[in-house]
Chains A and B, each alone.
Chain A
Amino acid sequence: MSDENLLTALGEIVQEATGIPAARVTPAASFVDDLDIDSLSMVEIATMAEDRFHVSIPDAELAKLKTVGDVLEFLAKAGVPA
């Protein structure tokens, strides 16, 4: 999966969970400041990402994921094929 594919997949997850158009899910976007996503939706997005990418996102790590780019980086480090 390329970075672009990862971004597309993440955008689909965010759109499904929150209704925010996937096009707004760009690497620089902050979940809270730019996308207005609350902590409950963030948990749901993390759960959906875990299922989709077959990774585990511990709560301590989730708290550090402020932007879409942070998630892409986390997924890459977790060995999700880019």
Chain B
Amino acid sequence: MSSARDRVVVTGFGATTPLGGDAPSTWRALLDGQSGAALLDDDWAADLPVRIAARAAADPADVLPAPRLRSLDRSQQFALVAGLEAWRDAGAPEVEPERLAVVVSSGIGGLTTVLDQYDVLRSRGARRVSPFTVPMIMPNGPAATLALELSARAGAHSPVSACASGAEAIAMGLDMIRSGRADVVVCGGAEAVVHPLPLAAFAAMRALSTRHDAPAEASRPFDKQRDGFVLGEGAAIVVLEAEAHAIARGANRYAVVAGAGMANDAHHIAAPDPDGAGAARAMTIALSDAGLSPTDIAHVNAHATSTPAGDVAEASALRRVFGSATDGIAVTATKSCTGHLLGAAGALEAGVTCLALRDRVVPAIRNLDDPADDAVLDLVRMSPRSLSGGGAALSNSFGFGGHDVALAFTEV
């Protein structure tokens, strides 16, 4: 167990998601069980095999000045909005720039800028391609944007692991503080690829739900009738801080980032290991890193994307790690409401897990009408569930490429 001196705490949380333009509205909507998914009525979507997505509730164009928008990819705009909210929420910590770092990831990066600028190249020629194209498409763009905004000089990093990226960013931030490379790290993920090509590409993998007659019911993790995920967009950023630093400045502390575990399935480039062995290993490592035993865990925020294979593999992994203790662990699946924010998902769910620990309440899994027979878990359904005192929580994130990340959180 870490000593009080070197614990790492979450002191700020910001998010712009399909449920709301900030973290508090997102949290309220999650507790209400709302859905951010809708049918795409854009002309470009008309001929796609999948026309469901969960777009951000607030457009960055309504928040950021127009000239900023011109030089930032939409994922960077989301990162800036959520990052500034998290920074304000943390009380804008006074910290030496050389002790402040940013670790913000994106699963896919500035893809829509690539596609837009390729259109410009073909229609108007090379000299009309935006001079901001390269900084807009680089996968480290969201991290670099925030580092510039906050004058973070201890480093800016972007660990990329598809849909586990946001969680891996938090794991890296934890490492940076523990190893003494920073006192404060702004961590998270951003994603913005609601565009015909990614939709067509995920649809080609048969990874997306095609429940066009009821888009708000399309994302249904652990339900028997689940048929794929719903593409979402947005960003979520947390401020991690050495606890001593946070206490010294009297900062609000949401939760302790008690540990992190990472592993890889090395099984298939996209399909999960059906036994969930890698996922189980990530969780076991996170528990060990946090000095927790399986019976200490009261709540799990599952990765649970609503794909037929993924949810079952995760259920199997949870059983493997927690054994008979599984039955007392309140499991939720944020993506049932938000859709899948890809590289931002892990950070959003980590932030939500901190709020669950703070408020001692776990949001229900939306659309879970008939739990799958092969997902025998204590799934929170119908309405939020209160958490009794003391328990710790895990947030799982997995990504194409076999990436497995688990983050462990405890009460302050």
Contact = CB atoms under 8 A, between A and B. Distances in A.
The answer on A and B forming one complex is: yes
Contacts of B130: 44
A51 to B, nearest CB: 8
A16 interface: yes
Interface string B232-244: 0000000000000
Contacts, number: 25
Contacts of A39: 131
A78 interface: no
Interface stretch (B36-44, B63-71, B257-265, B332-340): B63-71
B154 to A, nearest CB: 24
Contacts of A50: 127
Main SS of the interface on chain B?
A: helix
B67 A40 contact: no
A43 interface: yes
B61 to A, nearest CB: 14
A18 B131 contact: no
Given A19-B65, A19-B66, A40 B127 contact: no
A40 B128 contact: no
A75 B127 CA distance: 19
Contact of A19 (B67, B131, B132): B67
Interface of B: 65-68, 70-71, 127-128, 130-132, 135
24 contacts: A16-B66, A16-B67, A17-B67, A17-B70, A18-B67, A19-B65, A19-B66, A19-B67, A19-B68, A39-B131, A40-B71, A40-B131, A40-B132, A40-B135, A41-B131, A43-B131, A44-B70, A44-B130, A44-B131, A44-B132, A47-B127, A47-B128, A47-B131, A50-B127
